[in-house]
């Protein structure tokens, strides 16, 4: 076994960009693989439900052009996790098209493996009846309706499918929905390094230089793993890793500071040690991985719940701001009086008051402080776009001219930054599946296919 192995992480998400100078500095360290996370559930359920990417195609192509050329020149694998932003079939196809375009423009070909993560509804319904699906966190138990109504359901793969693709000779791996550290940990685990250390290193590398000071999701990070620990180094001379920054990122996106569950087990960080090696590098040791009795993978699904229309406006009248809740309730009452035949379940009328509690809602601790102005979002979600448009129009016009105690002006209560003031946003999705599936084999749910890409048709 090698004494050490290095993985280059160019950017926090494919398409976020990175300085070429940082990337070249990373390649000069002769990494054993380039790995990059390409997606997340952070942007919400729309992208999984609709099959659209939340990253820009040209931005992704720019990143991939640099990454693929460097990987092929150095004869090291390029690993892409959660392709296309959410990892479902349309996202995978979208990313593969870009990979092919890049290879054609480079006048090169490569063996490209793609790994599917979509789960078939019938298979999941069978698993549900076999009691192999359980809620993940405070979510309701899964139902057949949840499965049937979801447009896409994906599962998070661990390192095993990625390793299988590498052993089959893939130069580039394009994976569907991935456990975030998996593409970073796959090569080290395949070569016999500690799974615990590899996953912990991957957990930090997947966000690239966010774990540095100053942090950035658009810059490069290098992780170097040996038999007893790993070293993290930001590749931009303007950034550095510190014990504080690396420790903080170890705690990032975790409900328990010590334990990080993933496919097949739990990463135990209780005994971790962080050491400042010099001004720019941090070494991490002591991570453990506790295998689960049963291998579980996370399921993610999204379903359509209606159509959205929004209107943006500003309010700067102190007398209105002081009694805004009462006025907004009056607006709701008047709007729905115009649509007496509409069931409340068919339409949701929401007001988001930015500058007061638009971000945190009922959890806002400074709720009683009166701002001098409010940015108001009028949002309607309804069963059809036409109905959402109509209700939003009524809500906007009603609030614009509604009278209230102490009102000094009749010219209008709202200031509109845009004309037209209302925008139709199409289908709205919500997460419908956020559960764990118990499987007998970590490879079976994730079919692989190898193809030679880069040849002009």
- pLDDT tens-digit series, residues 371-408: 999 999 999 999 999 999 999 999 999 999 999 998 98
| Domains of the chain by residue range | 4-300+434-453, 317-414
Residue 457: what pLDDT? 56
Return the ∠ at Cα 114 (arms to 104 and 225), rounded to 5°.
Answer: 100
- Categorize the per-residue pLDDT at 1 as very low, low, confident or very high, splitting at 50, 70 and 90: low
| % of the chain with per-residue pLDDT over 90 | 91
357: helix, strand or coil: coil
Going by the DSSP 8-state scheme, the letter that residue 431 receives in this structure is E
Give backbone dihedrals phi and psi of 240, rounded to 5 degrees, phi first: -150, 150
- Distance in angstroms (rounded) separating the CA atoms of residues 77 and 36: 11
Cβ atoms within 10 Å, residue 26: 25
- Distance in angstroms (rounded) separating the CA atoms of residues 23 and 20: 5
Contact 345, 387 (CB under 8 A): no
Structure tokens at 115: 């790994």
Structure tokens at 363: 């959890």
Work out the average pLDDT over 15-38: 97
DSSP string, 178-229: B-TTHHHHHHHHHTT--HHHHHHHHHHHTTGGGGSBS--SSS-EEEEEESSE
What are the CA-CA distances from residue 308 to residues 65, 328, 386, 420, 426 (Å)? 37, 19, 10, 16, 6
Work out the average pLDDT over 271-287: 96
Q: Give the position of tokens 């950017």.
A: 11
Cβ atoms within 10 Å, residue 93: 14
Residue 323: what pLDDT? 95
Structure tokens at 178: 């991935």
Distant-in-sequence, close-in-space partners of 225: CB < 8 Å, separation ≥ 6 = 4, 5, 6, 7, 188, 193, 194, 197, 198, 201
- pLDDT tens-digit series, residues 108-159: 999 999 999 999 999 999 999 999 999 998 899 999 999 999 999 999 999 9
Structure tokens at 100: 């092919």
pTM exceeds 0.75, yes or no: yes
Number of H-type helices and E-type strands within the chain: 13, 19
Q: Give the position of tokens 């009691």.
A: 131
Give backbone dihedrals phi and psi of 349, rounded to 5 degrees, phi first: -115, 115
Sequence-ordered alpha helix ranges (H) in 338-455 = 385-401
Which residue, 450, 427, 13, is CA-closest to 210? 13
- pLDDT tens-digit series, residues 165-213: 999 999 999 999 999 999 999 999 999 999 999 999 999 999 999 999 9
């Amino acid at each position: 076994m090698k004494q050490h192995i290095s993985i280059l992480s160019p950017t926090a998400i494919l398409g976020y960009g990175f300085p070429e100078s940082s990337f070249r500095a990373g390649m000069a360290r002769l990494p054993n693989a380039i790995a990059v996370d390409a997606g997340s559930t952070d942007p919400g359920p729309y992208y999984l439900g609709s099959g659209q990417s939340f990253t820009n195609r040209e931005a992704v192509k720019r990143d991939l052009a640099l990454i693929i050329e460097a990987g092929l020149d150095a004869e090291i694998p390029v690993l892409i996790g959660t392709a296309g932003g959410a990892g479902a079939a349309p996202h995978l196809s979208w990313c593969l098209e870009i990979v092919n375009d890049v290879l054609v423009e480079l006048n090169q070909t490569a063996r490209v493996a793609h790994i599917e993560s979509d789960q078939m509804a019938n298979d999941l319904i069978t698993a549900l009846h076999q009691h192999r699906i359980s809620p993940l966190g405070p979510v309701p138990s899964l139902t057949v309706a949840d499965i049937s109504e979801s447009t896409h359901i994906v599962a998070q793969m661990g390192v095993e499918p990625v390793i299988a693709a590498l052993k089959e000779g893939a130069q580039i791996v394009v994976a569907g929905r991935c456990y975030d550290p998996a593409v970073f940990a796959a090569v080290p685990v395949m070569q016999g390094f500690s799974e615990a250390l590899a996953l912990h290193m991957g957990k930090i590398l997947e966000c690239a230089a966010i774990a540095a000071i100053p942090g950035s999701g658009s810059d490069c990070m290098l992780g170097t793993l040996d038999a007893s620990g790993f070293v993290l180094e930001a590749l931009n001379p303007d950034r550095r890793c510190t014990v504080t920054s690396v420790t903080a990122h170890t705690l990032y996106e975790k409900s328990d500071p010590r334990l990080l569950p993933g496919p097949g087990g739990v990463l135990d960080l209780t005994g971790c040690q962080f050491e400042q090696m010099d001004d720019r590098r941090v070494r991490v040791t002591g991570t453990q991985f506790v295998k689960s009795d049963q291998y579980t993978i996370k399921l993610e699904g999204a379903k359509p719940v209606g159509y959205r229309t929004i209107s943006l406006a500003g309010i700067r009248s102190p007398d209105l701001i002081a009694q805004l809740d009462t006025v907004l309730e009056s607006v709701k009452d008047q709007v729905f009086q115009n649509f007496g035949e509409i069931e409340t379940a068919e339409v949701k009328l929401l007001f988001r008051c930015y500058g007061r509690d638009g971000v945190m809602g009922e959890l806002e601790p400074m709720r009683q402080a009166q701002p001098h102005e409010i940015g108001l979002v009028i949002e309607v979600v309804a069963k059809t776009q036409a109905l959402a448009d109509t209700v939003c129009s009524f809500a906007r016009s009603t609030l614009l001219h509604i009278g209230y105690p102490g009102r000094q002006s009749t010219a209008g209560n709202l200031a509109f930054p845009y004309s037209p003031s209302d925008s139709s946003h199409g289908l709205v999705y919500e997460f419908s599946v956020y559960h764990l599936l118990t499987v007998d084999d970590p490879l079976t749910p994730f079919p692989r296919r190898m193809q030679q890409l880069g040849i002009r048709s």
